[in-house]
């Protein structure tokens, strides 16, 4: 591995710019399709856009703040000392593969990835399991750093601390390099968006990437088979929705004026819910000035499909 840049005292915006130069460990799971919170389209958009948008939230901030604590707990539990690398590395053979690791393990050819998790996600770590996206991240770091193994430690808030050792697996790493190289060369470098995966995240990214219509019309080619399949799916979904509503209606008749019903397997409730809403039509008629003052208009693209 070679050092791309020192991260010691590196401004976060500059750090984000360096991350655009390749695929990092946190990108790898998304590129492979194993990250439930991020898609390959999102990684593509991040690497190809001219913006360095800083995505941050409370969970991410807590993860950064508790990184040192997790590293300390790992040392306490294992007796292994760890150190900060203070650098972003790249793989000489595959320069598009980047690594900004949490810690390196002293005296071993290995590193440490520090994680935090909500108690609600504790089941993802049960019985020796490690979320697949995090496993891919560790193999990515092993590849870039030519490491023999990688440790991963997780603090499940208010519940427990766990750590695992992931051994190097050449077959997994070779496949990972192949997938990342294909993504980098055939999508990022070529400027071709990867195929969507049907997720809500992909939907959001596509909406951001193509926010407005240019008003033109283009020929529709190459989609007849998929559009026929779409029509079939619409029919199936309509039948399933009708079946679901029928079951709901049967349950409502069974409940009558009862609020809940339960057995050892299920609990059904049909409660009174109070909801208030604004009568826009009346407000517009009786107080047009107030209506215009507080009216908010948003522009979005409506997607429809109809048979010719």
278 in the same domain as 188: no
Structural domain for 232, as ranges: 224-294
82 in the same domain as 42: yes
Q: What total number of domains does the chain contain?
A: 2
239 in the same domain as 116: no
Q: Is 270 helix (H, G, I), strand (E, B) or coil?
A: coil
| Pair of tokens at residue 113 | 């990835």
C-alpha atoms less than 13 angstroms from C-alpha of 53 in its C-beta half-sphere = 12
The count of other CB atoms within 10 Å of the CB of residue 127 is: 5
- Over its length of 308 residues, how does the chain's per-residue pLDDT go in tens digits? 799 999 998 988 898 899 999 999 999 999 999 998 889 999 998 999 877 666 667 777 777 788 999 999 999 999 999 999 999 999 999 999 999 999 999 999 999 999 999 999 899 999 999 999 999 999 999 999 999 999 999 999 989 999 999 999 999 999 999 999 999 999 999 999 999 888 888 888 888 888 888 889 999 999 999 999 999 999 999 999 999 999 999 999 999 999 999 999 999 999 998 888 888 889 888 888 888 888 887 777 777 778 77
CA 251 to chain centre: 37
Computed on alpha carbons and rounded to an integer, the radius of gyration of the chain in Å comes to 26
The count of other CB atoms within 10 Å of the CB of residue 155 is: 22
271 in the same domain as 157: no
Q: Rounded to two decimals, what is the model's pTM? A: 0.77
In a domain, 118, yes or no: yes
Asked which of 174, 209, 244 is the last residue of a domain, the reply is 209
In a domain, 171, yes or no: yes
286 in the same domain as 162: no
The H or E element that residue 47 is part of is: helix 40-48
241 near 247, Cβ under 8 Å?
no
Whole-angstrom Cα distance, residue 63 to residue 15? 17
C-alpha atoms less than 13 angstroms from C-alpha of 294 in its C-beta half-sphere = 8
- Of 39, 40, 67, the C-alpha closest to 186 is 40
Asked which of 148, 176, 209 is the last residue of a domain, the reply is 209
């Amino acid at each position: 591995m070679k050092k791309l840049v020192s991260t010691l005292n590196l401004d976060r915006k500059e750090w984000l710019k360096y991350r655009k130069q390749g695929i990092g460990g946190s990108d790898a799971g998304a590129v492979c399709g194993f990250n439930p919170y991020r898609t390959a389209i999102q990684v593509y958009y991040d690497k190809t856009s001219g913006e360095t948008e800083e995505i941050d939230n409370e969970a991410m901030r807590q993860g950064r703040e508790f990184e040192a604590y997790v590293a300390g707990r790992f040392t306490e539990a294992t007796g292994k000392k760890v150190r900060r690398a203070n650098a972003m590395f790249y793989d000489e053979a595959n320069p598009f593969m980047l690594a900004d690791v949490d810690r390196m393990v002293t005296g071993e050819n290995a590193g440490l990835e520090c994680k935090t998790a909500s108690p609600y996600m504790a089941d993802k770590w049960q019985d020796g399991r490690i979320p697949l996206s995090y496993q891919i991240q560790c193999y990515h770091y092993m590849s870039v750093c030519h490491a023999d193994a990688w440790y991963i430690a997780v603090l499940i808030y208010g519940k427990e601390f766990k750590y695992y050792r992931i051994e190097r697996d050449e077959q997994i790493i070779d496949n990972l390099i192949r997938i990342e190289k294909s993504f980098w060369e055939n999508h990022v470098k070529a400027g071709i968006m990867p195929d969507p995966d049907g997720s809500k995240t992909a939907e959001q990214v596509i909406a951001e990437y193509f926010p407005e219509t240019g008003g033109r019309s283009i020929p529709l080619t190459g989609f007849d088979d998929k559009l026929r399949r779409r029509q079939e799916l619409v029919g199936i979904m309509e039948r399933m929705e009708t079946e679901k509503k029928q079951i709901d209606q049967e349950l409502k008749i069974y409940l009558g004026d009862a609020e809940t019903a339960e057995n050892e397997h299920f609990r059904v409730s049909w409660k009174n819910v109070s909801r208030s809403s604004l009568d826009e039509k009346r407000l517009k008629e009786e107080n047009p000035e107030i209506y215009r003052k507080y009216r908010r208009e948003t522009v979005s693209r409506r997607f429809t499909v109809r048979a010719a």
